[in-house]
């Protein structure tokens, strides 16, 4: 009644609103987008074929077509195929499965091709977002994956592994943390995915700075830890900017350095500044998030020593033939290959993530060992693939 949901021994804030699940077409996550061609703010013109990119002018749309054409055609093709699979499910023995089987959708065999096709559409949006500088496309990918999750609570397709990194690219670390925490806690508490009366995947507004001992990260798969590391890094980046701004503000409060600052003209300045410092100082948060980032890096490293060097020297690692299997049953080298292949496209565009990660890795191991590991561990051979095609995260 009060919006609280209880796991055994835990009390979590849950979001009351239920998700409205679409059948084929999702709404954007936001309303403001950059032009995919020139990056100008508040682009208004939307590609009518794929609906996944926006432009500030017809000229930009025309200029961008050579780069966008392949992705546009792929999305359009996937949308047509998805509608073809969705049509019979709206009247399946006089029952609309999209309304009456939410939660256990894939228990009906005839829905499986639809779910796979929708996953492929989300993947096409994702690729378009990364290759075409489109926040809109990334948002559409996330929304499609969330619909698949809510249709199939047990997540038979493993789509949950893709969502945090996309939220990371959308600059939504808080939302990514809520998502990661829900799945982390639900696994620890043996959540009943078949009980549709239970709230599902709806943590909102969790404290990203909270004590991480509540998350039992020591029992977590390394790939999930990589997602948590990325989220913590994004928040660290935000807090670091706040810290720099705050320190600049403090210079303006110094009686000599900031003697010409308008801040010094405020009446009762000492009392006001005391309260400002008390309420808005990011210093404590900065130290907390930095320590948590190091802690997660240590968890990753303790589970698989190849992963962090693999990210820091990824070109060498990914030059090797892709392994046949990269899940928990594979070798540590194979798992590292899978983790790096899966997320390196989300690391490459992010300012300074490689620099900070190397600094923290050196802090953990010392300069000599860290640099040797970064140079040598990615060169250790992964298992040769026995089948054609790119290995997928298990």
Report the distance separating Cα 144 and Cα 162, nearest Å: 11
pLDDT at 269 over 60: no
Contact by Cβ (8 Å): 228, 217: yes
Closest CA to 186 of 5, 7, 11, 4: 7
pLDDT at 282 over 80: no
User: How many C-beta atoms surround the C-beta of residue 350 within 10 A?
Assistant: 15
Contact by Cβ (8 Å): 317, 340: yes
pLDDT in the model for residue 382: 80
Q: SS3 sequence, the chain?
A: CCCEEEECCEEEEECCCCCCCCCCCCCCCCCCCCCCCCCCCCCCEECCCCCCCEECCHHHHHHHHHHHHHHHHHHHHHHHHHHHHHHHHHHCCCCCHHHHCCEEHHHCHHHHHHHHHHHHHHHHHHHHHHHCCCHHHHHHHHHHHHHHHHHECCCCCCHHHCHHHHHHHCCCHHHHHHHHHHHHHHHHCCCCCCCCCCCCCCECCCCCCCCHHHHCHHHCCHHHHHHHHHHHHHHHHHHHHHHHHHHHHHHHHCCCCCCCCHHHHCCCHHHHHHHHHHHHCCHHHHHHHHHHHHHHHHHHHHHCCCHHHHHHCHHHHHCCCCCCCCCCCCCHHHHHHHHHHHHHHHHCCCCCHHHHHHHHHHHHHCHHHHHHHHHHHHHCCCCCCCCCCCCCCC
How much of the chain, in percent, has pLDDT values that exceed 90?
66
pLDDT in the model for residue 12: 41
User: How many C-beta atoms surround the C-beta of residue 386 within 10 A?
Assistant: 9
Average pLDDT over residues 13-39: 83
Instruction: Collect all residues with Cβ–Cβ distance below 8 Å to 22 and sequence separation of at least 6.
Output: 143, 147
pLDDT at 275 over 80: no
pLDDT in the model for residue 24: 95
pLDDT at 17 over 80: no
| Rg (the chain; Cα; Å) | 24
- pLDDT tier at 234, thresholds 50, 70, 90: very high
Q: Across the chain, what does the average pLDDT equal?
A: 85
Q: How many degrees, rounded to 5, is the angle at CA 216 between CA 213 and CA 222?
A: 120
pLDDT in the model for residue 392: 40
45-46 and 10-13 beta bridge pairing: unpaired
pLDDT in the model for residue 386: 42
- Chain centroid offset of residue 295 CA: 19
Greater confidence, 43 or 220?
Answer: 43
Greater confidence, 222 or 262?
Answer: 222
Average pLDDT over residues 299-319: 96
Residue with tokens 């907390």: 288
Report the distance separating Cα 321 and Cα 327, nearest Å: 16
Residues 175-196 pLDDT 10s: 999 999 999 988 777 889 989 9
pLDDT at 372 over 90: yes
Residues 324-339 pLDDT 10s: 767 666 789 999 999 9
Average pLDDT over residues 374-383: 90
Average pLDDT over residues 259-278: 53
Among left, alpha and beta (phi > 0; psi -120 to 50; other), residue 93 is: left
Residue with tokens 């909270």: 210
Average pLDDT over residues 20-49: 93
Report the distance separating Cα 173 and Cα 75, nearest Å: 27
Instruction: Collect all residues with Cβ–Cβ distance below 8 Å to 297 and sequence separation of at least 6.
Output: 229, 308, 357, 360, 361, 364
Contact by Cβ (8 Å): 198, 5: yes
pLDDT in the model for residue 105: 94
pLDDT at 199 over 60: yes
Report the distance separating Cα 320 and Cα 384, nearest Å: 8
pLDDT in the model for residue 328: 66
pLDDT at 304 over 90: yes
- pLDDT tier at 381, thresholds 50, 70, 90: confident
Average pLDDT over residues 61-88: 97
Report the distance separating Cα 184 and Cα 192, nearest Å: 14
């Amino acid at each position: 009644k009060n919006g609280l949901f209880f796991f055994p021994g835990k009390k979590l804030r849950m979001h009351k609103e239920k998700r409205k699940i679409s059948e084929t077409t999702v709404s954007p996550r936001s309303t403001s987008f950059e032009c995919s061609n020139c990056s100008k703010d508040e682009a208004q013109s939307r590609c009518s074929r794929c609906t996944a990119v926006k432009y500030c002018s017809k000229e930009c749309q025309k200029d961008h077509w050579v780069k966008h054409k392949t992705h546009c055609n792929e999305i359009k093709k996937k949308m047509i195929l998805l509608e073809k699979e969705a049509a019979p499910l709206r009247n399946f023995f006089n029952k609309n499965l999209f309304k009456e089987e939410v939660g256990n959708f894939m228990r009906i065999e005839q829905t499986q091709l639809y779910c796979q096709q929708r996953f492929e559409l989300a993947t096409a949006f994702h690729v378009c977002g990364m290759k075409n500088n489109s926040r809109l496309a990334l948002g559409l990918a996330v929304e499609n994956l969330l619909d698949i999750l809510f249709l199939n609570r047990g997540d038979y397709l493993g789509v949950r592994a893709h969502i945090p990194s996309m939220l990371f690219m959308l600059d939504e670390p808080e939302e990514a943390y809520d998502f990661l925490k829900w799945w982390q806690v639900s696994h620890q508490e043996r959540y009943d995915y078949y009980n549709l009366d239970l709230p599902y995947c709806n943590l909102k507004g969790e404290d990203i700075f909270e004590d991480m001992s509540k998350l039992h990260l020591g029992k977590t798969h390394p790939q999930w830890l990589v997602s948590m590391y990325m989220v913590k890094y994004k928040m660290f980046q935000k807090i670091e900017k706040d810290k720099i701004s705050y320190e600049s503000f403090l210079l303006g409060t110094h009686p000599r350095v900031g003697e010409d600052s308008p801040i010094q003209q405020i009446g009762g300045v000492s009392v006001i500044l005391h309260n400002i410092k008390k309420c808005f100082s990011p210093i404590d948060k900065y130290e907390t998030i930095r320590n948590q980032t190091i802690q997660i890096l240590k968890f990753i490293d303790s589970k698989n020593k190849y992963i962090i060097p693999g990210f820091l020297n990824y070109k060498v690692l990914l030059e090797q033939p892709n392994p046949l299997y990269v899940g928990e049953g594979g070798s540590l080298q194979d798992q590292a290959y899978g983790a790096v292949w899966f997320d390196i496209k989300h690391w490459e565009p992010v300012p300074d993530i490689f620099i900070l990660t190397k600094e923290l890795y050196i802090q953990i191991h010392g300069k000599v060992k860290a640099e040797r590991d970064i140079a040598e561990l990615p060169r250790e051979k992964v298992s040769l693939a026995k089948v054609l095609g790119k290995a997928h995260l298990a």
